[in-house]
Structure 1
Amino acid sequence: MEDNNHTDKDVLVKGVKRLGLCLGLMFLGPTIVHLALDNSDKSLYIPLLILGFLLCIGAVVMLFLGINTILDSMFKKKK
């Protein structure tokens, strides 16, 4: 009987890339929200605020997907 419980390197790299994207979004989202809130009298206030919140939500989603992908690479059984 062959043991197939080794880490899938391709899936692991995919998960680490997702976490890297998450790290970028974690800095970019709050920065844009801060810029929007500092310039509330400008015409781009609402679009920048919406963009910043969407980037923050994207960071949370990418964090979840990245961790989930890394765990799948370690613990998921191969057929």
Structure 2
Amino acid sequence: MEETKRTDKDILSKGIRIMIICLFLMFSGPTALHIAFSNKEKPLYIPLIILGILLCLGAIITLFKGIQTIMDSLFGKKNK
């Protein structure tokens, strides 16, 4: 008998939470970079650029992790 594939709702909710974090990072990273580039003469110029770049990289990483988690919930994990 063939087993019916169902969506794992716990993993799906974890993936959606990761995507919400990604959404926050997608807005805060470019905002920090914009603030840094509009105030080049301020003493916090370099730390804001570093923070903005780290937030943007975090957004990219959490985007891929969130999509992977949602795909795992829909199709099941691959057994190696």
- Give the shorter-chain TM-score range: over 0.9
| Cα pair distance change 1:39/1:78, threshold 3 Å | closer
Give aligned pairs, total. 79
What are the Cα deviations for residues 16-59 of structure 1, in whole angstroms up to 9, with x where unaligned?
Answer: 00110100100000000000001110111000000000000000
Any gaps of 5 or more consecutive residues in structure 1?
A: none
Aligned to 1:39: 39
Q: Aligned equivalents of 2:6 and 2:50: distance in 1? A: 43
Using the TM superposition, give the Cα deviation of residue 76 of structure 1 relative to its aligned residue in structure 2, in angstroms: 1.2
Tell me which stretches of 4 or more aligned residues in structure 1 moved more than 6 Å.
Answer: none
How far apart, CA to CA, are the structure 2 residues paired with 1:30 and 1:55? 8
Question: What is the TM-score normalised by the length of structure 2?
Answer: 0.91
Alignment of 1:1-79 (within 5 A): 1=1, 3-76=3-76
- Residue 4 of structure 1 deviates from its aligned partner by 4.5
C-alpha distance 58-78 of structure 1, shift in aligned 2 (>3 A): closer
Cα–Cα, structure 1 residues 48 and 2, in superposed 2: closer, same or farther, change >3 Å?
same
Give the alignment's TM-score, normalised by structure 1.
0.93
Identical-pair percentage: 57
Question: Over aligned residue pairs, what C-alpha RMSD do you find?
Answer: 1.7
